């Protein structure tokens, strides 16, 4: 049983679907006090109907003041903060570099990098020693994927963000790690994985011979936030069926 059973207080951003929803569900089932963040009130409300957690709220992941207000609200409701899964993110345009829109590229960086930084920093300000932050990057930050310059760059930056924060927060006793999921079946990836030709192509790149499930990622996040991984900081952990080998 995870030490999260000791009722650790955790924020999960991007907690209304996919990896965030699965992680919030697993953490709560193991005793954590969980607060989810989402981009819209409607999706937060829909997720709360599926979860047995403390609560949730909407915020703009790319707006620092919105993020800080959301963290304050969450901490008040949770009675503290022991862990954060920085999971909110947006996908790339799936276009060749020569066709990319700079406006969309900036939006991806605003959410996936600056938004991740804003949430991690706001959380660290109220955390005590022994707390942990997990930033959701991607295998695409380790091995760039053709046609996703914007997303690849944002996730490579998210990895370096986690490592940099690990250095800056070490004296506070806060561990920071990045996880790099591969092809996990979520609402974001379903259009790609449900295409037989594309799915076969992707499966050929995965030694494990299968796509991941959200619970695979949730189990890793549970461990990193459990209090059993306090000496793991600055770590970059792939969870991709061997894709990045």
Is the pTM here over 0.85, yes or no? yes
DSSP 79-121: TS--EEEE--------B-GGG--HHHHHHHHIIIIIIHHHHHH
Question: Which residue would you say has higher pLDDT here, 2 or 8?
Answer: 8
The rounded mean pLDDT for the chain is 94
pLDDT digits (tens, 9 = 90+) for 80-136: 999 999 999 888 887 888 888 999 999 999 999 999 999 999 999 999 999 999 999
Structure tokens at 78: 């949770």
pLDDT at 241 over 80: yes
Percent of the chain clearing pLDDT 90 (strictly above): 84
231 is catalytic: no
pLDDT digits (tens, 9 = 90+) for 30-79: 999 999 999 999 999 999 999 999 999 999 999 999 999 999 999 999 99
* Per-residue exposure over 219-233, b if at least 16 CB sit within 10 Å of its own CB, e if not: bbbbbbbbbebeeeb
Q: Which residues pair with 179 in a beta bridge?
A: 136, 237
pLDDT at 171 over 80: yes
- Which of 35, 117, 151, 211 is catalytic? The answer is 151
What is the rounded distance in angstroms from the CA atom of residue 177 to the CA atom of residue 97? 29
Close Cβ partners of 79 (under 8 Å, ≥ 6 residues apart)? 9, 33
Structural domains of the chain, with CATH: 3-185+215-233 (3.40.50.720)
To the nearest 10 degrees (0 to 180), the angle between helices 64-78 and 116-124 is: 40
């Amino acid at each position: 049983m995870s030490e999260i059973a000791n009722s650790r207080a955790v924020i999960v951003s991007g907690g209304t679907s996919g990896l965030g929803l699965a992680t919030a569900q697993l953490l709560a089932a193991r005793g954590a006090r969980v607060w989810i963040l989402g981009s819209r009130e409607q999706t937060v409300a829909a997720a709360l109907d599926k979860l047995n957690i403390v609560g949730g709220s909407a915020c703009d992941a790319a707006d620092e003041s919105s993020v800080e207000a959301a963290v304050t609200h969450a901490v008040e409701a949770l009675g503290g903060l022991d862990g954060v899964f920085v999971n909110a993110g947006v996908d790339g345009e799936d276009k060749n570099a020569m066709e990319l829109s700079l406006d969309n590229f900036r939006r991806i960086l605003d959410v996936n990098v600056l938004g991740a930084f804003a949430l991690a920093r706001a959380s660290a300000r109220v955390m005590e020693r022994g707390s942990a932050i997990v930033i959701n990057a991607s295998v695409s930050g380790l091995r760039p994927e053709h046609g996703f310059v914007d997303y690849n760059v944002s996730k490579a930056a998210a990895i370096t963000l986690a490592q940099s924060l690990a250095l800056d927060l070490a004296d506070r006793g806060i561990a920071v790690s990045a996880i790099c999921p591969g092809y996990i079946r979520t609402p974001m990836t379903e259009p790609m994985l449900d295409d037989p030709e594309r799915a076969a192509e992707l499966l050929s790149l995965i030694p494990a011979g299968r796509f991941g499930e959200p619970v695979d990622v949730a189990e890793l996040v549970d461990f990193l936030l459990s209090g059993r991984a306090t000496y793991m900081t600055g770590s970059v952990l792939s969870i991709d069926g061997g894709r990045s080998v």
